[in-house]
Every structure is written in structure tokens, then in C-alpha cells.
Chain A
Amino acid sequence: MSLTRRNFLKTAGLTAGALGLGLQGLDFTSWAQEQQQAEVVKKPSLCNVCASHCGMWVYVKNDRIWKVTGHEENDRSQGRLCPRAHGGIDWVYDPYRLKRPLKRREDGDYAPVDWDQALDEIADKLREILEEEGPEKVFYAHNPRRTGVFYGNRLMHALNVSTICTHNAACNTARGRGFSATMGGVPSTDIANSRYLIFLGRNYGGGIRTSQLKALQAALRGETRIVCVDPRQNETAALADKWIPIQPGTDLALVLAMSQVIIKEGLYDEEFIEEYSVGFTDYAENLEDYTPEWAEELTDVPAETITTMARDLAAAAPASMVYPTWKGAFGCNYENSTETARAVACINALLGNINQQGGFFFYHGPETGSLDPEKHPAPSTPDTPRADGAGEKDEFPLATGHGLPHVLAERIREGRVKAGIVRHHNPVRNFPDYDHMKEGFGSLDLLVVCETQMSETAMVADYVLPECSFAEREEVIEARGGRRGTLAMRTRVIPKMYPHTRSYDEIVVELAERLGVGEYFNFSLDEANQAILEPYDISLEEFKEVGSMRVDLPQPEGVPEFNTPSGKFEFYSEEFERHGAPPVVGWIPPDTGLEFGKNEFRLVHGKEAFHSHTATANTPQLLQITKDYQTNRLWINADRAEELGLDDGDEVRISSEIYSDTTRVKLTQRIHPETVYYPSGYGNKTPHYRVAHKIDSLSPNDFVKYQKESIVGHAMVNEVIVTLEKA
């Protein structure tokens, strides 16, 4: 047989092995042949690089991951994978992974400790705080996926802790609340069959969910006219029929004005309004002054364009939509983001596009079983107040259950919160105002971080508990709805690389036993998964072989009963009114206003397709793309740059009221003149991300001060003005 380089490299630990054997005088060629002939095993898993958890096949040879491919029977991947899934292999083989439990010493450094010591000390301290200060002084924060919810929330419920936070207040809290207040939830979309589609800041090509890109290409190949509204010509806008640049923070004005045109010209779906909505009259009356001419002044979008967009939306209805976004232009960006979300929900109601081909859909979810409550009683829902004020009267009554980690940081500093557990989540880096978050989370009496890498949040923990990587652990089965449903799970594809790492379910169960609530965890992970699969004719062993499985579901038909207090679409929200928020949607300006001094710009950010949050700048393969294309630069309108005496690649000093840094600029015509843009995947402050530090970069979060939006309390991540000067 010939020894090609390709086969050669696929052997595990070849260099070290070959050297060792060479010294013993063995025949290298026969050894290498033996290694090559090891079988390539294909095992199912779920990607862990973003929260979409695409199904994938992991190819393993000699217990080492070689490559990944998309799982065909999974709703998110549908046989394909985005770049991050491929690059995520680097995470597993990062030499600086956490390998032992760490405890912070008096001098601030960390010392390795054994698991029993770490868990005993954590349990003792946590029990002391729970007993002396109460469960309302304790929180849990994580990226909410199935295993973290099932095990983590169950532990918190057992301890009567209400404060369970996610990253959402720096992601899509406003979007979520705006849609739940009006149509009872965030719908799925059918863009492939849409005839007219407006994206507000949502960029399928940057914030990739693989299945959504499939729908985008169908739309691009088909009859869909796609309009992208964004201060920057993002990757989707570059392919779309039309890019409409907008003054950041004014999407609300655009949507209000389009709605006004649709109502004034009588282009809305009267039957939907009549039969399935409440509060239309109040809403319509409130819109009267929001003319396209009024909106042009605020948005920089010509009135004529606004009118045309409104008419085109209505003409294509119900196979048309203003896309419900994710983070995009109004997930958590501005003072007016919740109202922007509500306005977007309302204009879609005018189009009558709910459960209509080419519009929105509320799909069903797959049936799943659960543990026998007689044998495995679940703890009751906590009755203590939340530490972050989310959902609490006189605090943030309209905030969502995803909570407010940035508010927690303030309350920790005030001594009102004492202990927390953070898992696979990095609020210190990924919320605005680094010092605020770092000092906040660093001031807890007890912070426990469960991680695979030494993140910025782990850097301020009292104990860091090392998880094994996603490739080395099994997890709870996920069930997702849609036109077709999916059941999917992560299986163990390689043996544990470091003996002193543990999976999250193991950590939670160990802690629960030490905290005296082990009775709620009297089952194995396999038993929990067997229970989930109970309605299906497949054993857990068989399921672990396939990893992902499609499930046929009933199709949504007709207008559903909405999950709102009235059961109808709510143009008028009594709940908002009750809590002092506007009952019908109207204009609210961005907090920074819309006046700019000389050299002042709005700083916006967005995802690159090849990075996920701030976690992947530390992977060599993905960071190499940043280096090759020099994407760690500030986008600035070329004409404005000329005024400032800047050439492409020049260093510039960028300053806000709380922070100043330098970076290189990318000159382009693809951005609004009063806007600068920087990708959001960089600016790691942890020295343990050695790869990430090989480039100069910054994080847009550093420039944004700690602040809270008025309705739901989100972090307003784009409410910032920066000044630029040549460095």
C-alpha cells in the first residue's frame, strides 16, 4: 500500500508515536500501516459552537476526530454544516482546555484541587448562603439548551432558587417580549415561499443557522423579492434584490410609517383584523401622524421608498413578511427595541400572514415522554423573588424569564446577591461594560463556573469546574418542532481526554447530593432519555446509533388561538398598560438621540459566519480566516474616512464615554455615513485564550455603558456614540 500524506496524518499522535517506536528499533512503516488500517468510525452528535445544535456525523479514527459532516435527519443541519462546526474540532484539542477543578487562592491565582474538595466546599458555602441569606440571593446563568435546562433548572427548583438567567438580555429579549405581547410567541417563517420579504438587520449569511440558509437560497432562486434594511450592506443584503441603508435605531419609525400607509390605503387583511385581533382601532388612530415623510427625517430612507415597500408588502400578502429577526435590528439593541418588535408583529398582522404559505407559522412540537413522577418526583416551582427583578412588580414586570444578568452585576456590587453558578455562558465578556460585569460577578461570595475553557467569566470565579468537551459526553435528548419535528442527542464520540473532567449532569447530581436534594436526581441520564423516547418505537441504544431522527407532525391550519390573554392578536396590550408601558405601539427615539457632532458615529456590530460569540477567536482554524481577510477592522464609509484623513488599513482611535482603543479601518461604500461597524466575535480579555491574542482586536461591548431599557430591561447593546480620530 502507498503511504499518502492524507492517510498518514489521520493517525493519532503520529509524531510522538513514531519517535517512540523508532527509538525501540521497530519498523516504522509497518507501525504506520497498522495505524492507517484502524477503522474510521462515524458517530452522531450535535454541534456545540452555536446554540442551534445542528446534527452532525463525527468521523473518528484511532479515537481522534478527523472531520464532521452534516446529519441528514436533523432539522437544523439537513445534511450541511456551517464553517463553525468544522472549526469547532479545535475546541476539543485546545491544549489550554480546563483539565482539573480550580480554586481561587487569596492572591487571586488559581490552584488545582480535587473534585471532592471542590464540591464539598462549594456545597458548604452554598448551603450557608441559602440558609442564612435565602434562595433569593442565589442565581444560575447559562445558555439555555436541553441538558442545562433539565439538570440545572431542576437543581435550582430543588433549592427554591427563582433566578435563572440566560444570555437573552444581550440577544433577543426585546424581540421575544414584543412578539409574545402581540401574537403570543415568536413564529417560524416560510421565506422560501414568500413573495416579498423585508429583513430588518437580520443577516442569515452572518448569524448562520444552516437550515435558514437553505430557505434563503430557495428564496433567492425563486420568486421572492428580498429587501434588506441595515446600516451596513451585510452578506445577505449583498445578494438581495435591494439594500436599504437606515440610520441605526430608527427601524421603528420605518415600520410605523409602512403600517400607516397600509392602513391609510386600506390594504390590510380586514378579515384577520375583524376575526382574530383586539385593539385595532386604538392602534390605527395612534399611527396617523407616522407618515413616510415623518419617517424619512428619522431613518434617512426616502418617503417614496417607504410607501413603495408598504404597498409591495401588501400586494404580496399573505405571502409576505417583515421578518421577526433574531438579534438583528431590535433583539436587545435600543431603548425602542421592544416597541420595534411589537410594531413588526403588528405590521405582519395587517398582512394576515399567520399560518399562511410564505408567511409566519406556529408549528407543533414532537411528543416526548417524561420520568415517572411517582418514582422520580420533580421539585416544585420556586416561590422566592428573583434577584434580578425580572417579572417582579415595581422592578422589571415585563422582563422575560430569561432574566437580566447585567442587572445582577449591579445588585451583586450592592451586596444584594451572594452566589451563582454559571455554565457554558460568558456574561462578563458578552454583555456591555466589561468593568461593570467583571466587578459585579467578581464580587460574589461564591461564583462557580462550569466550562471547558478559561473564559472571562471563569477568570473571576471562586471555583472553576472543568467539563469534558461536547465530543466526550452524552446529553439529554432535544425535541424540536417545525413542519417536521426532530429528536436529537449528543453521543460520546471519543473517550474522555482528561480524566479529571466531568459532564454537567454528573456535576449537578454530585452537587445535589451534597446539598441534601439528591432525592430529585434518583435516575441516570439513560433513564431520563429512555423516558423521553417512550412514545416512539425506538430503543435508546438504537437512538444513540442514529443521533437524530425526524418526526412527522400535524400541520398548522388556519389562524391559531394566540397565546395571549385574549387568545387573539393584541394590537392593544392591557398587560403593557397595567405596568406603565404604552398599550399601543408608538415612536420612541433611541436613547442617544439622533444628533451627531463632528467625528461622531454610531457603533453597530454583527456576527461573522465563521465566529460564534467571543468563543471561537481562540480556535486557530477559524481565526486564520480573520487573519487572511483582515476582518478585525472597523468598517467606515469611505467618504467619511476621507474627511478624517484615513486610508484603508490606517489606525484609528475609537472612543466612547467609557472606553477608548485603537483599531485599523476598512474603507467601504457599503455602510451608512454616520455608522461604523465592528464584528462582534473578538476582544477576548482572558489571557488563557492564547490564539485569540495573536491578532489585535476589540469588542464593541467595551464601548457601551451599563444601561437598562425601560420596558423589559435589556442591555441596549447598540446605544452608544463613538468618536474617531486618526491614531
Chain B
Amino acid sequence: MSEKDKRTSRRDFLKKGAFLGTAAFLTGFGLQNLGINAENIDPDKRALLMDHSLCVECQACRLACQNENDFPYTIQSIKFKNRETGTYPEVDYHLSRWSCFHCSLAPCVEVCPVDAIYKSEQGMNTTAIEECVGCHQCVGACPYEVPQMQDEKMYKCNGCVHLLEQGKLPACVSTCPSYALDFGSQQEMAEKGAVRVEELKEKGEEAYLYGLEAQEGLGLLMVLRTSPDEFQLV
């Protein structure tokens, strides 16, 4: 089968999958069929999926996160990096969510001297803020510069583990008015992300799924409309 034929068959296969319904599609086929590197997929790990082909950068996620978790409003527990490329009028604007990526290999958990950061059952890197001694070691260790310090306490996304335990979605997901956020098992999110990347490519758009390779797999996967390198994503 030529490279082109392979693409065609994958596309047909995807369409058929969508037609049959996502559930049937996902159980019937594996990640390899979607061209996903499944090496780091952890069956017990849960993940967020952020689709930047839908996000209008409204910041509802940030506000819902701050309120849900009682973070100070100056803490950017979710922020966005942007890139403008091209020249008028052929110009593109791209976004990347920047919050805790919930690395499987999490240096912050390793370095915290008081075990204030720990892995939850769902694979989220969670902080017990009252235990934090403000030593800044996590700030130095994080490959994404995520932890934010204020008044000698560290704040970051904790995956709303307290809501997950009640069977609810993280606050950012349940408020997102653009339906750009999803949450589920890392495998399911990887599959949904890969399907979306294919859909966008079919429309002739650039698209990437980020988060299956860095730090042995992340708990925040992203559909990006420009290369992860553009955002210096490791």
C-alpha cells in the first residue's frame, strides 16, 4: 500500500468510525490505527484534552478554576500563550493552554521536600497547599514553568481531583462555553484528539496532537493548530 493509499484508508476508516458512533469505534480499534504512539499511555491515568481549533480564549476556564479552588485571582492557574504568524491579510493566530501538564514523569513530585505535591489515583499531580513550605524547588524543576508562588505558597492546576472523586468533571471542562475541553481516560482523550487532528488535516489545516511523548506522557493533551515547537513545548 502506498503512503497515499494508507492515508485514504485511514480517512475512510475514520469516517466510518464517526458514523458508527465514537464508543463502538474506540472499543473496536486501537491507538496504532490512529497513528498514535501508545507507548506512554497509562490505562489508569486520566487526562484533559484541550482543542485549540475551538477555543476563543475567553478565559472562562481560568475564572472557574480560581473560584472552584479558592485560588487568589492573581494566580494564572490556566494561561494562554499565543503566536501570530504571517503578514496582513494572510495572518494566523494560534493559542496554547499553559497549565499543569500532569506529567507522568513529574519532577515537581520528585523534588518537593515535604511531599506537598503528590500523584492522585487518577494520575494528576496534586498539591496540598497547606503542606507547602514555599521552597520554590518545584518552580525550578518544572519543565513548563507552571508552579506559581504567592505568599510563599505554590498554586497550580490540581486536576480538580476533589470533583473527580465525586464523579464530576474539572471546573474548567464543565464551564467551557466553546466545548473546547474534554476529560476522560488518557487513552480516550488521545483517541479523540487524534480523530480531531485528522478531521482538521482533511480540511487542509495544520494540526498536531501534543502530549503523548513529553515527560512519559501528559495529563493535559492538546490539539494545536501550529507546531508545538512554536510554543517551545518540550
Contact = CB atoms under 8 A, between A and B. Distances in A.
Given A6-B69, A204-B56, A80 B129 contact: no
Most buried by B among A68, A69, A669: A669
Given A82-B58, A233-B91, A87 B63 contact: yes
A217 B54 contact: yes
A86 B64 contact: yes
A89 interface: yes
Interface stretch (B33-41, B102-110, B169-177): B169-177
A621 B73 CA distance: 5
B14 interface: no
B88 A673 contact: yes
A670 to B, nearest CB: 5
A4 B73 contact: no
Nearest to A244: B89
A81 B59 contact: no
Interface in A214-253: 214, 216-217, 220-221, 233, 235-236, 238-239, 241, 243-245
Contact of A213 (B66, B68, B177): B177
B178 interface: yes
A9 B70 contact: yes
A502 to B, nearest CB: 28
A205 interface: yes
Contact of A86 (B60, B93, B153): B60
A210 interface: yes
B58 A205 contact: yes
Contacts of B162: 6
Contacts of A639: 88
B84 A609 contact: no
A83 B58 contact: yes
Interface in A301-324: none
A669 B59 contact: no
A4 B74 contact: no
Interface in A65-102: 66-70, 79-83, 85-87, 89
Contacts of B87: 669
A621 B63 CA distance: 8
A228 B136 CA distance: 46
Interface string A272-285: 00000000000000
B59 A83 contact: yes
A620 B73 contact: yes
A681 B62 CA distance: 19
B76 interface: yes
A67 B89 CA distance: 42
A668 interface: yes
Contacts of A169: none
Contacts, number: 132
B63 A83 contact: yes
B145 interface: no
Interface string B65-100: 011111001101001000010111101110000000
A217 B76 contact: no
Interface string B162-188: 100000000100111111100000000
Which of B63, B68, B87: most chain A CB closer than 10 A? B63
Interface residues of B, number: 43
A337 interface: no
Given A81-B175, A621-B63, A670 B56 contact: no
Contacts of B62: 83, 625
B57 interface: yes
B70 A214 contact: no
B53 A220 contact: yes
A81 B67 contact: no
A639 B87 CA distance: 9
Given A6-B69, A621-B63, A214 B179 contact: yes
Nearest to A80: B177
Interface in A629-669: 637-639, 668-669
A82 B177 contact: yes
B229 interface: no
Contacts of B54: 217, 220-221, 239
Contacts of A139: none
A609 B58 contact: yes
Nearest to A243: B89
Contacts of A221: 54, 199
A569 interface: no
Given A206-B56, A621-B66, 17 more contacts: A67-B67, A79-B174, A82-B58, A83-B63, A86-B64, A205-B57, A205-B58, A208-B177, A210-B177, A220-B53, A220-B54, A241-B203, A610-B59, A624-B73, A628-B76, A639-B88, A669-B87
